[in-house]
Amino acid sequence: MIVFKKASDLKKHLEAIGKKHNKIGFAPTMGALHQGHLSLLAESKKATGITVCSIFVNPTQFNDPRDFQKYPITIEKDIYLLEKNDVDILFLPSVPEIYPNGTTNLEHYNLGYLENILEGQYRPGHFQGVCQVMRRLLEIVEPDHLFMGQKDYQQCMVVKKLLEIMESKIIFHHSPTLREDDGLAMSSRNVRLNEEERKNAIAIFKALTFIQKNIHTGSLMNNITEAKNILLKSDFKIDYVEIANAETLQILQQWDGKQNLVALVAAFQGQVRLIDNMLLRES
Protein backbone atom coordinates (compact mmCIF):
# COMPACT_ATOMS: atom_id res chain seq x y z
CA MET A 1 0.00 0.00 0.00
CA ILE A 2 1.22 3.48 -0.79
CA VAL A 3 0.36 6.33 1.59
CA PHE A 4 -0.09 9.83 0.16
CA LYS A 5 -0.38 12.97 2.22
CA LYS A 6 -0.33 15.44 -0.68
CA ALA A 7 -3.20 15.61 -3.18
CA SER A 8 -0.84 16.51 -6.04
CA ASP A 9 1.32 13.40 -5.40
CA LEU A 10 -1.74 11.16 -5.32
CA LYS A 11 -3.06 12.64 -8.57
CA LYS A 12 0.31 12.16 -10.30
CA HIS A 13 0.51 8.56 -9.11
CA LEU A 14 -3.01 7.73 -10.30
CA GLU A 15 -2.21 9.22 -13.72
CA ALA A 16 1.02 7.23 -13.90
CA ILE A 17 -0.54 3.85 -13.08
CA GLY A 18 -3.03 4.32 -15.87
CA LYS A 19 -6.37 5.53 -14.60
CA LYS A 20 -7.83 4.83 -18.03
CA HIS A 21 -7.18 1.09 -17.81
CA ASN A 22 -8.04 0.60 -14.16
CA LYS A 23 -11.34 1.50 -12.56
CA ILE A 24 -10.79 3.38 -9.31
CA GLY A 25 -12.86 2.55 -6.24
CA PHE A 26 -12.94 4.96 -3.32
CA ALA A 27 -14.11 4.61 0.29
CA PRO A 28 -13.74 7.82 2.33
CA THR A 29 -13.46 7.35 6.12
CA MET A 30 -12.55 9.22 9.27
CA GLY A 31 -10.35 6.36 10.48
CA ALA A 32 -10.51 4.29 13.68
CA LEU A 33 -11.27 1.55 11.20
CA HIS A 34 -13.44 -1.48 11.93
CA GLN A 35 -14.95 -4.34 9.94
CA GLY A 36 -17.70 -2.04 8.60
CA HIS A 37 -15.09 0.13 6.86
CA LEU A 38 -13.22 -2.96 5.68
CA SER A 39 -16.40 -4.35 4.11
CA LEU A 40 -16.64 -1.23 1.91
CA LEU A 41 -13.03 -1.67 0.86
CA ALA A 42 -13.61 -5.38 0.11
CA GLU A 43 -16.52 -4.42 -2.17
CA SER A 44 -14.32 -1.89 -3.91
CA LYS A 45 -11.60 -4.48 -4.42
CA LYS A 46 -14.13 -6.84 -6.03
CA ALA A 47 -15.52 -4.19 -8.38
CA THR A 48 -12.44 -2.16 -9.34
CA GLY A 49 -8.73 -2.39 -10.18
CA ILE A 50 -7.43 0.21 -7.73
CA THR A 51 -8.88 0.78 -4.28
CA VAL A 52 -8.28 4.09 -2.52
CA CYS A 53 -9.19 4.67 1.13
CA SER A 54 -8.98 8.11 2.70
CA ILE A 55 -8.67 8.86 6.39
CA PHE A 56 -9.54 12.43 7.22
CA VAL A 57 -11.38 13.67 10.30
CA ASN A 58 -13.21 16.52 8.62
CA PRO A 59 -13.54 19.51 10.97
CA THR A 60 -16.31 21.18 8.94
CA GLN A 61 -18.84 18.41 9.55
CA PHE A 62 -18.63 18.52 13.36
CA ASN A 63 -21.22 20.85 14.82
CA ASP A 64 -19.97 19.95 18.34
CA PRO A 65 -16.26 20.84 18.79
CA ARG A 66 -15.97 18.37 21.73
CA ASP A 67 -17.08 15.53 19.44
CA PHE A 68 -14.34 16.57 16.99
CA GLN A 69 -11.67 16.74 19.70
CA LYS A 70 -12.67 13.35 21.12
CA TYR A 71 -12.91 11.59 17.76
CA PRO A 72 -10.80 8.41 18.12
CA ILE A 73 -7.52 8.36 16.17
CA THR A 74 -5.77 4.99 15.71
CA ILE A 75 -3.70 5.62 12.62
CA GLU A 76 -1.04 2.93 13.13
CA LYS A 77 -3.65 0.22 13.64
CA ASP A 78 -5.58 1.59 10.65
CA ILE A 79 -2.54 1.34 8.38
CA TYR A 80 -1.93 -2.22 9.60
CA LEU A 81 -5.56 -3.19 8.80
CA LEU A 82 -5.46 -1.54 5.37
CA GLU A 83 -2.18 -3.31 4.50
CA LYS A 84 -3.60 -6.63 5.69
CA ASN A 85 -6.67 -6.13 3.51
CA ASP A 86 -4.61 -5.33 0.41
CA VAL A 87 -5.85 -1.79 -0.03
CA ASP A 88 -3.78 -0.15 -2.78
CA ILE A 89 -3.68 3.47 -1.67
CA LEU A 90 -4.28 5.40 1.53
CA PHE A 91 -4.86 9.15 1.23
CA LEU A 92 -4.05 10.76 4.57
CA PRO A 93 -4.23 14.52 4.10
CA SER A 94 -3.86 17.29 6.67
CA VAL A 95 -6.59 19.90 7.18
CA PRO A 96 -4.71 22.60 5.16
CA GLU A 97 -4.20 20.10 2.34
CA ILE A 98 -7.99 19.76 1.97
CA TYR A 99 -8.86 23.34 2.92
CA PRO A 100 -5.89 25.49 1.73
CA ASN A 101 -7.97 28.66 2.20
CA GLY A 102 -9.18 27.73 5.69
CA THR A 103 -12.39 26.15 6.93
CA THR A 104 -14.61 29.23 7.16
CA ASN A 105 -16.72 30.93 4.49
CA LEU A 106 -16.91 27.77 2.41
CA GLU A 107 -19.36 27.10 -0.40
CA HIS A 108 -23.01 26.20 0.32
CA TYR A 109 -24.96 23.35 -1.25
CA ASN A 110 -28.68 23.33 -1.84
CA LEU A 111 -29.68 20.00 -0.35
CA GLY A 112 -33.40 20.78 -0.07
CA TYR A 113 -35.33 19.26 2.81
CA LEU A 114 -32.62 16.61 3.43
CA GLU A 115 -30.56 19.34 5.08
CA ASN A 116 -33.00 20.09 7.90
CA ILE A 117 -34.55 16.78 8.93
CA LEU A 118 -33.21 14.05 11.26
CA GLU A 119 -29.40 14.43 11.41
CA GLY A 120 -29.70 17.82 9.72
CA GLN A 121 -32.06 19.05 12.43
CA TYR A 122 -29.90 17.85 15.32
CA ARG A 123 -26.51 18.62 13.74
CA PRO A 124 -26.95 21.97 11.97
CA GLY A 125 -24.38 22.45 9.21
CA HIS A 126 -23.28 18.79 9.35
CA PHE A 127 -24.29 17.93 5.80
CA GLN A 128 -22.77 21.10 4.40
CA GLY A 129 -19.49 19.89 5.93
CA VAL A 130 -20.01 16.41 4.48
CA CYS A 131 -20.52 17.90 0.99
CA GLN A 132 -17.58 20.29 1.35
CA VAL A 133 -15.17 17.47 2.15
CA MET A 134 -16.69 14.97 -0.27
CA ARG A 135 -16.45 17.34 -3.19
CA ARG A 136 -12.80 18.03 -2.48
CA LEU A 137 -11.95 14.36 -2.00
CA LEU A 138 -13.83 13.33 -5.16
CA GLU A 139 -12.04 16.01 -7.19
CA ILE A 140 -8.68 14.72 -5.96
CA VAL A 141 -9.28 10.96 -6.27
CA GLU A 142 -11.60 11.11 -9.30
CA PRO A 143 -13.01 7.63 -8.62
CA ASP A 144 -15.24 5.63 -10.96
CA HIS A 145 -17.01 3.99 -8.01
CA LEU A 146 -17.79 5.37 -4.58
CA PHE A 147 -18.50 3.05 -1.62
CA MET A 148 -20.41 4.25 1.44
CA GLY A 149 -22.29 2.57 4.29
CA GLN A 150 -26.04 2.38 4.79
CA LYS A 151 -25.28 2.86 8.50
CA ASP A 152 -25.24 6.58 7.61
CA TYR A 153 -28.49 6.40 5.67
CA GLN A 154 -29.15 10.12 5.31
CA GLN A 155 -25.49 10.76 4.46
CA CYS A 156 -25.81 8.32 1.53
CA MET A 157 -28.80 10.31 0.26
CA VAL A 158 -26.98 13.61 0.70
CA VAL A 159 -23.91 12.36 -1.18
CA LYS A 160 -26.12 11.04 -4.00
CA LYS A 161 -27.63 14.52 -4.17
CA LEU A 162 -24.13 16.04 -4.25
CA LEU A 163 -23.22 13.76 -7.18
CA GLU A 164 -26.32 15.07 -8.98
CA ILE A 165 -25.32 18.68 -8.22
CA MET A 166 -21.80 17.94 -9.52
CA GLU A 167 -23.30 16.24 -12.60
CA SER A 168 -20.94 13.41 -11.75
CA LYS A 169 -20.78 10.02 -13.45
CA ILE A 170 -19.37 8.32 -10.35
CA ILE A 171 -21.27 5.11 -9.56
CA PHE A 172 -22.57 5.14 -5.99
CA HIS A 173 -22.67 1.90 -3.96
CA HIS A 174 -24.23 1.63 -0.52
CA SER A 175 -23.18 -1.31 1.63
CA PRO A 176 -25.18 -2.99 4.40
CA THR A 177 -24.46 -2.15 8.03
CA LEU A 178 -22.04 -4.51 9.75
CA ARG A 179 -22.99 -5.30 13.34
CA GLU A 180 -21.36 -6.75 16.43
CA ASP A 181 -22.65 -10.18 17.53
CA ASP A 182 -25.22 -8.60 19.84
CA GLY A 183 -26.56 -6.34 17.07
CA LEU A 184 -24.82 -3.05 17.89
CA ALA A 185 -23.88 -1.34 14.62
CA MET A 186 -20.10 -1.11 14.32
CA SER A 187 -18.94 2.47 14.73
CA SER A 188 -15.67 4.23 15.47
CA ARG A 189 -17.47 5.95 18.34
CA ASN A 190 -18.22 2.63 20.11
CA VAL A 191 -14.71 2.59 21.65
CA ARG A 192 -15.73 5.63 23.70
CA LEU A 193 -18.47 3.64 25.51
CA ASN A 194 -17.62 2.34 28.99
CA GLU A 195 -18.59 -1.22 29.97
CA GLU A 196 -22.08 -0.33 31.20
CA GLU A 197 -22.79 2.02 28.28
CA ARG A 198 -21.65 -0.67 25.86
CA LYS A 199 -24.20 -3.10 27.38
CA ASN A 200 -26.95 -0.47 27.25
CA ALA A 201 -26.10 0.37 23.64
CA ILE A 202 -27.73 -2.77 22.23
CA ALA A 203 -31.11 -1.19 23.05
CA ILE A 204 -30.86 0.65 19.71
CA PHE A 205 -30.82 -2.64 17.83
CA LYS A 206 -33.65 -3.94 20.05
CA ALA A 207 -35.74 -0.83 19.38
CA LEU A 208 -35.22 -1.05 15.62
CA THR A 209 -35.93 -4.79 15.61
CA PHE A 210 -39.10 -4.15 17.62
CA ILE A 211 -40.30 -1.70 14.98
CA GLN A 212 -39.38 -4.09 12.17
CA LYS A 213 -41.29 -6.98 13.75
CA ASN A 214 -44.37 -4.97 14.67
CA ILE A 215 -44.81 -2.77 11.63
CA HIS A 216 -48.33 -2.69 10.23
CA THR A 217 -50.43 -0.41 8.07
CA GLY A 218 -52.13 2.57 9.69
CA SER A 219 -50.60 4.64 12.47
CA LEU A 220 -46.88 4.19 13.11
CA MET A 221 -46.97 6.09 16.38
CA ASN A 222 -47.39 3.14 18.80
CA ASN A 223 -44.30 1.52 17.35
CA ILE A 224 -42.31 4.72 17.72
CA THR A 225 -43.48 5.19 21.32
CA GLU A 226 -42.55 1.62 22.24
CA ALA A 227 -39.13 1.93 20.56
CA LYS A 228 -38.51 5.12 22.55
CA ASN A 229 -39.46 3.28 25.77
CA ILE A 230 -36.91 0.55 24.98
CA LEU A 231 -34.21 3.22 24.60
CA LEU A 232 -35.24 5.16 27.71
CA LYS A 233 -35.13 1.97 29.83
CA SER A 234 -31.45 1.62 28.84
CA ASP A 235 -30.60 5.20 29.83
CA PHE A 236 -30.51 6.63 26.32
CA LYS A 237 -31.14 10.34 25.79
CA ILE A 238 -33.05 10.37 22.53
CA ASP A 239 -32.57 12.84 19.67
CA TYR A 240 -35.05 11.08 17.40
CA VAL A 241 -36.81 7.83 16.56
CA GLU A 242 -38.59 8.14 13.22
CA ILE A 243 -40.00 6.03 10.42
CA ALA A 244 -39.55 7.41 6.92
CA ASN A 245 -40.08 6.57 3.28
CA ALA A 246 -36.93 4.61 2.41
CA GLU A 247 -36.56 6.28 -0.99
CA THR A 248 -37.31 9.92 -0.14
CA LEU A 249 -36.71 10.00 3.63
CA GLN A 250 -40.03 11.78 4.03
CA ILE A 251 -41.03 11.23 7.69
CA LEU A 252 -44.28 9.30 8.09
CA GLN A 253 -46.86 8.91 10.83
CA GLN A 254 -49.11 6.59 8.85
CA TRP A 255 -48.27 3.74 6.51
CA ASP A 256 -50.31 2.71 3.48
CA GLY A 257 -48.54 -0.67 3.27
CA LYS A 258 -47.03 0.19 -0.10
CA GLN A 259 -44.06 2.46 0.55
CA ASN A 260 -40.70 0.96 1.50
CA LEU A 261 -39.84 2.14 4.99
CA VAL A 262 -36.74 2.79 7.05
CA ALA A 263 -36.65 3.32 10.81
CA LEU A 264 -33.93 5.69 12.05
CA VAL A 265 -32.57 6.37 15.52
CA ALA A 266 -30.12 8.85 17.01
CA ALA A 267 -29.52 8.83 20.76
CA PHE A 268 -26.87 9.52 23.38
CA GLN A 269 -25.46 6.82 25.62
CA GLY A 270 -23.59 8.95 28.15
CA GLN A 271 -21.52 11.40 26.10
CA VAL A 272 -21.53 9.24 22.97
CA ARG A 273 -24.04 9.91 20.22
CA LEU A 274 -24.98 6.78 18.28
CA ILE A 275 -27.04 6.48 15.09
CA ASP A 276 -28.52 3.45 13.40
CA ASN A 277 -31.32 2.48 11.03
CA MET A 278 -33.13 -0.54 9.68
CA LEU A 279 -35.10 -1.19 6.53
CA LEU A 280 -38.59 -2.45 7.36
CA ARG A 281 -41.07 -4.74 5.68
CA GLU A 282 -44.50 -5.96 6.65
CA SER A 283 -44.25 -8.92 9.07
Q: How far, in Å, CA of 208 to CA of 104, rounded? A: 38
Q: How far, in Å, CA of 11 to CA of 27, rounded? A: 16
Name the segment binding ligand AMP (CB under 6 A); options: 35-43, 110-118, 165-173, 210-218: 35-43
Site for ligand AMP contains 36 (CB under 6 A): yes
Nearest to 275 by CA among 173, 212, 201: 201
Q: Which residue of the set 34, 37, 126, 174 is catalytic?
A: 37
Q: How far, in Å, CA of 61 to CA of 131, rounded? A: 9
Site for ligand AMP contains 265 (CB under 6 A): no
Q: How far, in Å, CA of 137 to CA of 218, rounded? A: 43
Pairing status of strand 145-149 against strand 171-175: parallel
Site for ligand AMP contains 92 (CB under 6 A): no
Q: How far, in Å, CA of 214 to CA of 116, rounded? A: 28
Site for ligand AMP contains 177 (CB under 6 A): yes
Q: Which of 38, 40, 220, 243 binds ligand AMP (CB under 6 A)?
A: 40
Q: Which of 7, 25, 37, 192 binds ligand AMP (CB under 6 A)?
A: 37
CB of 180 to ligand AMP, least distance (A): 9
Site for ligand AMP contains 143 (CB under 6 A): no
**Taking a C-beta distance cutoff of 8 angstroms, is the pair 57, 30 a contact?**
yes
175 burial via Cβ count (<10 Å: 0-12, 13-18, 19+): buried
Please give the C-alpha separations between residue 282 and each of 1, 113, 278, in angstroms, as whole numbers: 45, 27, 13
Q: Which of 14, 24, 30, 158 binds ligand AMP (CB under 6 A)?
A: 30
Q: Which of 114, 136, 149, 261 binds ligand AMP (CB under 6 A)?
A: 149
CB of 201 to ligand AMP, least distance (A): 13
CB of 41 to ligand AMP, least distance (A): 9
Q: How far, in Å, CA of 137 to CA of 104, rounded? A: 18
CB of 149 to ligand AMP, least distance (A): 2
**Closer to ligand AMP at the Cβ: 163 or 178?**
178
145 is catalytic: no
**Closer to ligand AMP at the Cβ: 31 or 244?**
31
Nearest to 140 by CA among 102, 103, 172, 100: 100
Q: Which of 81, 141, 162, 186 binds ligand AMP (CB under 6 A)?
A: 186
Enumerate binding residues for ligand AMP (CB under 6 A).
Answer: 29-30, 36-37, 39-40, 148-149, 151-152, 175, 177-178, 185-188
- Residues with a catalytic annotation lie at 37
